[in-house]
């Protein structure tokens, strides 16, 4: 049986994940990458297929293309969700 990887051992995705984290922006992928690198091998094996699809969708070769959806500072949620929540209260 193939040994399970963690993010830092994944030669296909690790550089991309590190570049996303280093970007330091509040984009969804950057925040997600920070969480992904903390996953154990079992959880990473579940997340990995989705990461491959996200990389295929958003990576443009220099690892910098990310969706244009920022998070609200300090709240960790996109502004449109915060606005919807405040209107519901």
pLDDT tens series, the chain, 89 aa? 357 899 999 999 999 999 999 988 788 889 999 999 999 999 999 999 999 999 999 876 554 544 554 444 444 445 554 454 455 44
Residue 14, exposed/middle/buried by CB under 10 A (0-12, 13-18, 19+)?
Answer: middle
Contact between 41 and 1 under an 8 Å Cβ cutoff? The reply is no
Classify residue 1: in a domain, yes or no.
no
How many Å separate Cα 82 from the centre of its chain? 20
Classify residue 13: in a domain, yes or no.
yes
- Its domain, for residue 29, covers 7-88
Give the three-state DSSP class for 45: helix
Tell me how many domains the chain contains: 1
List residues bridging with 70 in a β-sheet: 27
Classify residue 2: in a domain, yes or no.
no
């Amino acid at each position: 049986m193939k040994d399970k990887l963690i993010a830092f051992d994944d030669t296909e995705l690790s550089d991309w994940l590190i570049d996303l984290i280093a970007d330091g922006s509040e984009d969804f992928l950057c925040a997600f990458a920070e969480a992904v690198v903390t996953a154990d091998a079992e959880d990473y094996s579940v997340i990995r297929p989705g990461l491959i699809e996200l990389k295929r969708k958003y990576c443009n070769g220099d690892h910098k293309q990310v969706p244009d959806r920022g998070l609200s500072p300090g709240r960790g949620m996109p502004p449109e969700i915060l606005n919807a929540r405040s209107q519901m209260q």
